[in-house]
Structure 1
């Protein structure tokens, strides 16, 4: 929590701003990496961070980073630093940081995103470890430059990166050992205290009971079946997908109906002449990962959220969800507007951390199986160095089931 959310983030910001302690005869304006030193650039950078909050998923709405040019020295939270540095900076610093510094920074972003995932593969962890090692080695070359007056740039948090992945193999996922988990557990135990006359004995007993329950759950998970109480109007779509209201009868538009006919032909559904193209559309979809995908139909007042689909890194803006019953089987579908493929050059230049996709709009209307949806991501408007407006994906790559 503190390593990435505070120590590293704060170090990078003071380096880019040139506000770190330095020798009197060593002017920060001569450093190639102080790209945020100019106050106008810093104010513009801060406004871009604040503006990006409109496009982040609802699940991050309470943790959207504030404008760092105004709030960074007055209680900027660790989770704000994480979204700011490791979510948005690969786009905001593209074309601003010199290419060698930018690629070096993106190695840190790539590795940090890997170790913060709840489910990791060994190959990904090894790749993250390699990126961490290269980042630490190159940090001394690029920033410290073997100058005694800059030795304090290499703080202990830089060396700590070399231990992150080995500790994963020794202790398990560090996500479960982070301070966030501990603080949440302490808060939950505190809420359960009933006997205030013997506070610590009561707290110890509650902790013991939780440990026993967790041990039983690890041995036999079926002893504790997870049951979700569905809200009124919800429709269970199977495979842990749940359609949520509001629900309303809807007549498909021409473009959507044409797309639906192509989808029907692809799945060998024979449409009879006169078949109605009126459907019951739903506003939201609860995903297996706990996220709720909102639709453009219900969320017109704010920028719509985007979806990550299984397979080949496809992203889409959902218009609405709807049900189709065919041969006594129920299918949960979604009408979406697709994004184009990610720019390969930008992906390569950013160590795979920046994915810029062009929004296809009306030309990209498709009907898909709603169970292809893997997660909700944010697509932040992005302008490259040529000024061309595209869309930026700020989360790690997910993949489309064919």
Structure 2
């Protein structure tokens, strides 16, 4: 009967959230509540220049200490004695007052088991570990009068932060993105017979579009996405905590994922994992539900308009463990272990308790409940809220523990989701609110699966034989170490915009190897590095997976690409099972849950847009930059919570007073803005130079000049996607070990995609009446009639080897350098992206050649969306 009281407790939390009121006193009270219900109807102004100076200093010094602020303040007052700058703590209070953002502190167990809120609010002893809530020494000394909590955690209500985003015309305009994008999409649907141009946002999926068409989602609603994850702050000691954040879908993708618009909701201290996670989620969800019931009053500064907005929870994102805290599903090793609660039933080995999502029925297998016929993955769709409701009622009808255990196995549900407490008309539904999770799927789970296969590190049953695992090509230590060295040697060829280059995995893959490293290594390098190393059939199957995954990792996916990815991945999984599992009962554990989840990616893109738009990359960056701001390692959790509160307050103030957050100068000195997102960057020649040889001939021919022109060379070019392309002009002057080569670019020539190596960039002057002395573009003024031709001088790579391209399903594009004979001038506007061209020597049809294989940054656009304006590569 131990589990049934837990069901009752879950229902108590849900009921309290469903009946939430702003007058309950759970979140905002007093002046804060009055301000929420009656928001100011004028822009925020700070009339005192010294106060504004103090706020600007406080914001600018976000990564610095209190003493740094005070030293600067004292230095200013020493030079200007009449300046009355407020102290650090005065400025901190001023920030809280002006922003209107505050936190709600609640008592919690010293071991992080539970928070004393909602149904647990009257407890003084933890229901899990029996530790007292209050400091017993102080309680005893005061004869029970002083109840000092041993631990607290903070929740930051979201509603005041949303109001701040409308209180200045500039930020209010940004909050109308969803409405404008929705209009565009419905026009696309009309033009394309029901298809969007591209799946490039959550609004392109049919789940959102149907809700708009049915008036379930309305124009003045505010759509939110919640994301939760655990974080380890330090590698060397226990430092686990949990964080959840809010992402505002009303903003465009190039705004919503940036730090200044990502809103921390709560930071749940560690170092131990919470046991009653519902209690820590309760204050934030109670506040959200209360605002849903009453509506959020907003003043739109751009139109001087008052309106009431409904807060709609559209998506809830998490990795596997994090999802269980929100969904209360059984987990990925249950019989119904799909995170989207699809009807796929798992299979297990006799005598084992863990289930695996195996499509093909094992040979000679008659285990009751698992012996269903082969499953066609094309016929499996996600679960739906109607079926979930029926199954949940069935589970909650359990009268005994044994009945509950049987129904839990049958339904895949452990208990009711805490999200059921929200107002039902303002949440997408369960399990529809959950979706695939691209970051952990590609950068952790599938990467680990491929690695275990190649290294042969699966547990081998006594009925099996590792010597028959022909795919385990890296199990020998010498081969593994050689592969690791080959991976590390690729570093110099990978541009800095690819993030961290993968380190030698034989030395580092078990020590904080980042998801981006795994993605570049497994899906960028391994198709080439394992060619002729893996047997042909497993290699081709792996390439088919990579081909599908690369499409699904794009920010913008066309319907044609989506159909191709769906076909590739639906073909890949049955082939994968035939190659590795081979219908053997003893190999059932090879088919991990991530294999099944991969085949949901395409259908999920059609439902809720490109998977990468709802991935955990935003949470990963938030954890990273919040962790960097910790200044008190002795009390990291309390300090982390204060940093989260401070960030929300600063973000709200920046939204209401945008000039406190002036845009960084994206175009540094000695740059040339070419418009449309292209910017030439230094270094450059101080004076135009006279060209020689083939370069002179090619550029003279391009300009149709009989004489050798003078050219001022530029070293770098910033692209519209944020990458910086470099050139031989700059890179060949560096030592090889100092280079992250960025001079290879993907270009469009006569409608065909080619790969080129940039020699340099230039601005060619095309004019009718220039003399030979008019050769410095800074001196061109007066009566001359001229224009600039912005060009790159490049050499080309060959077209990809057709056999390797076809065999790898388009993944392994292996080229040769065409050299000086291919030297030509191209328009800068033809440059699409920076790519890597990594040398290799494949044997094709018995011939070995020096070649270069193409590596592109996976998910590059969404990674750029998360960068701040002053971040470089």
Q: TM-score range by the shorter chain?
A: 0.7 to 0.9
Confirm or deny: 8 A CA contact 2:794 2:823 kept in the other structure: yes
Secondary structure of 1:63 counterpart: coil
- 1:251 equivalent to 2:709? Answer no
Give the corresponding residue for 1:290.
Answer: 722
Give the corresponding residue for 2:544.
Answer: 107
Q: Which of 442, 466, 476 is 1:38 aligned to?
A: 476
- 1:17 equivalent to 2:455? Answer yes
Cα root mean square deviation, aligned: 2.9
Secondary structure of 1:297 counterpart: helix
Separation in structure 2 between the aligned mates of residue 312 and residue 369 of structure 1, nearest angstrom:
14
Separation in structure 1 between the aligned mates of residue 537 and residue 623 of structure 2, nearest angstrom:
43
Q: How does 1:28-107 map to 2 (within 5 A)?
A: 28-60=466-498, 62-107=499-544
Cα deviation for residue 44 of structure 1 reads: 1.5
Where does the alignment leave 5 or more consecutive residues of structure 1 unmatched?
214-223, 265-269, 398-402
Q: How does 1:205-284 map to 2 (within 5 A)?
A: 206=649, 209=652, 228-248=665-685, 249-264=688-703, 270-271=704-705, 273=706, 275-284=707-716
Q: Deviations over 1:178-228 (max 9, x none)?
A: 1111233466789999xx8x9599579659959x97xxxxxxxxxx99885
Q: Deviations over 1:278-324 (max 9, x none)?
A: 11111101111111111111111236430100132211111111111
Give the corresponding residue for 1:322.
Answer: 762
Confirm or deny: 8 A CA contact 2:757 2:794 kept in the other structure: yes
Cα deviation for residue 52 of structure 1 reads: 0.8
Structure with more strand by fraction: 1
Separation in structure 1 between the aligned mates of residue 789 and residue 662 of structure 2, nearest angstrom:
26
Bigger shift: residues 40-49 or 78-87: 40-49
Secondary structure of 2:825 counterpart: strand
Separation in structure 2 between the aligned mates of residue 207 and residue 128 of structure 1, nearest angstrom:
42
| TM-score calculated relative to the size of structure 1 | 0.86
Q: Which of 444, 447, 450 is 1:6 aligned to?
A: 444
Structure with more helix by fraction: 1
Give the corresponding residue for 2:806.
Answer: 348
**Residues 209, 115 of structure 1: alpha-carbon distance in 2 compared, 3 angstrom cutoff:** farther
Separation in structure 2 between the aligned mates of residue 205 and residue 189 of structure 1, nearest angstrom:
12
Give the corresponding residue for 1:313.
Answer: 753
Separation in structure 2 between the aligned mates of residue 27 and residue 192 of structure 1, nearest angstrom:
51
Give the corresponding residue for 1:221.
Answer: none
Larger Rg: 2
Separation in structure 2 between the aligned mates of residue 207 and residue 245 of structure 1, nearest angstrom:
34
Secondary structure of 1:175 counterpart: helix
Separation in structure 2 between the aligned mates of residue 291 and residue 45 of structure 1, nearest angstrom:
29
Secondary structure of 2:532 counterpart: coil
Where does the alignment leave 5 or more consecutive residues of structure 2 unmatched?
1-438, 631-638, 656-660, 768-785, 859-873
Give the corresponding residue for 1:393.
Answer: 854
Separation in structure 2 between the aligned mates of residue 379 and residue 237 of structure 1, nearest angstrom:
27
Cα deviation for residue 66 of structure 1 reads: 0.8
Cα deviation for residue 339 of structure 1 reads: 0.8
Give the corresponding residue for 1:129.
Answer: 566
Give the corresponding residue for 1:216.
Answer: none
Give the corresponding residue for 2:19.
Answer: none
Cα deviation for residue 380 of structure 1 reads: 0.2
Separation in structure 2 between the aligned mates of residue 16 and residue 366 of structure 1, nearest angstrom:
43
Separation in structure 1 between the aligned mates of residue 562 and residue 662 of structure 2, nearest angstrom:
32
**Residues 283, 121 of structure 1: alpha-carbon distance in 2 compared, 3 angstrom cutoff:** same
**Residues 176, 182 of structure 1: alpha-carbon distance in 2 compared, 3 angstrom cutoff:** farther
Give the corresponding residue for 2:465.
Answer: 27
Bigger shift: residues 169-178 or 283-292: 169-178
Aligned length: 378
Confirm or deny: 8 A CA contact 2:816 2:851 kept in the other structure: yes
**Residues 322, 205 of structure 1: alpha-carbon distance in 2 compared, 3 angstrom cutoff:** closer
Give the corresponding residue for 2:797.
Answer: 339
